[in-house]
Amino acid sequence: EAGVAQSPRYKIIEKRQSVAFWCNPISGHATLYWYQQILGQGPKLLIQFQNNGVVDDSQLPKDRFSAERLKGVDSTLKIQPAKLEDSAVYLCASSWELERQSELFFGEGSRLTVL
Partner 1 sequence: DQQVKQNSPSLSVQEGRISILNCDYTNSMFDYFLWYKKYPAEGPTFLISISSIKDKNEDGRFTVFLNKSAKHLSLHIVPSQPGDSAVYFCAASAGGNTPLVFGKGTRLSVIA
Nearer to partner 1, 28 or 42 (CB): 42
Number of residues that bind partner 1 (CB under 8 A): 25
Nearer to partner 1, 17 or 113 (CB): 113
DSSP 25: -
DSSP β-ladder status, 10-13 and 110-114? parallel
Shortest spacing between CB 74 and partner 1, in angstroms: 17
**Residues 39-68 within binding reach of partner 1 (CB under 8 A):** 40-45, 48, 50, 55-56
Shortest spacing between CB 106 and partner 1, in angstroms: 3
Amino acid at 38: I
36 close to 44: Cβ distance less than 8 angstroms: yes
> If binding is defined by CB under 8 A, does position 33 make contact with partner 1?
yes
104 close to 35: Cβ distance less than 8 angstroms: no
Please write down the HEC assignment for all residues of 35-82: EEECCCCCCEEEEEEECCEEEECCCCCCCCEEEECHHHCCEEEEECCC
Nearer to partner 1, 22 or 106 (CB): 106
Nearer to partner 1, 12 or 55 (CB): 55
What is the contact surface with partner 1 in residues (CB under 8 A)?
A: 4, 33, 40-45, 48, 50, 55-56, 91, 93, 98-99, 101-109
